[in-house]
């Protein structure tokens, strides 16, 4: 292989590894003890994907919205401890600390649990409510790793579409 082919092969390997990890080496399903379970019954449908902000206070969508009818049961995607359960501004929500720096927030959800409650994968954590920034018929899923929002989709065993960026000047 010549130098150009070697650089191209390295670039392709980098793009594939970033795509499989959701854009960050620390956010892929391999870092979790098993992939997370989908939070609602029915078809897996993302109605609004994760969009990382350019900087900490920039515009973006710090989670993903999944199709879920009002009143639908919401299940814990992975084991953890309820960190918050209540209303923030105009929407009910629940937050689960999964350990290892991972915290998930679910809204709008009328929670069935209280802070300190231990949940196992698949346990009922509440029902889809209304309010907040999500459209009716959607559930917002936010995940932070060590305080930074990450794309939750790879945690559910899904691989986001790769976006190729320019590599080299020719």
Q: What is the Cα–Cα distance from 150 to 103, expressed in whole angstroms?
A: 10
Each residue's pLDDT tens digit, 87-97: 999 899 999 99
What pLDDT, on a 0 to 100 scale, did the predictor assign at position 159? 67
Tell me the CA distances in angstroms from 164 to 10, 12, 15, 23, 161, one per residue in order: 13, 9, 7, 12, 10
Work out the mean pLDDT of the chain and round it to a whole number. Answer: 82
For residue 128, what are the β-bridge partners? 109
* % of the chain beyond a pLDDT of 90: 60
What pLDDT, on a 0 to 100 scale, did the predictor assign at position 62? 93
Q: Which pLDDT band, with edges at 50, 70 and 90, does 25 fall under?
A: very low
Note whether 122 and 76 are within 8 A (CB). Answer: yes
Each residue's pLDDT tens digit, 97-147: 999 999 999 999 999 999 999 999 999 999 999 988 888 899 999 999 999
Tell me the CA distances in angstroms from 134 to 63, 78, 90, 111, one per residue in order: 11, 23, 12, 17
Mind listing the domains of the chain with CATH numbers?
A: 34-151 (2.70.70.10)
Each residue's pLDDT tens digit, 46-74: 999 999 888 888 888 999 999 999 999 99
Cα torsion 23, 26, 27, 32: sign: positive
Of 16 and 131, more confident: 131
């Amino acid at each position: 292989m010549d130098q150009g082919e070697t650089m191209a092969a390295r670039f392709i390997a980098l793009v594939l590894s970033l795509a499989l990890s959701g854009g960050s080496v620390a956010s892929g399903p391999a870092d979790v003890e098993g992939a997370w379970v989908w939070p609602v019954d029915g078809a897996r449908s993302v109605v609004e994907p994760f969009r990382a902000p350019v900087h900490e206070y920039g515009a973006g969508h710090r989670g993903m919205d999944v199709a879920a009818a009002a009143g639908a049961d919401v299940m814990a995607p992975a084991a953890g401890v309820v960190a918050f359960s209540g209303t923030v501004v105009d929407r009910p929500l629940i937050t689960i600390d999964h350990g290892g720096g991972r915290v998930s927030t679910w809204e709008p959800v009328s929670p069935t649990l209280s802070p300190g409650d231990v949940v196992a994968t698949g346990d009922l954590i509440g029902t889809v409510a209304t309010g907040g920034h999500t459209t009716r018929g959607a559930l917002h899923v936010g995940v932070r790793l060590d305080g930074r929002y990450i794309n939750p989709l790879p945690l559910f065993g899904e691989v986001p579409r790769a976006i190729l960026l320019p590599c080299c000047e020719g």
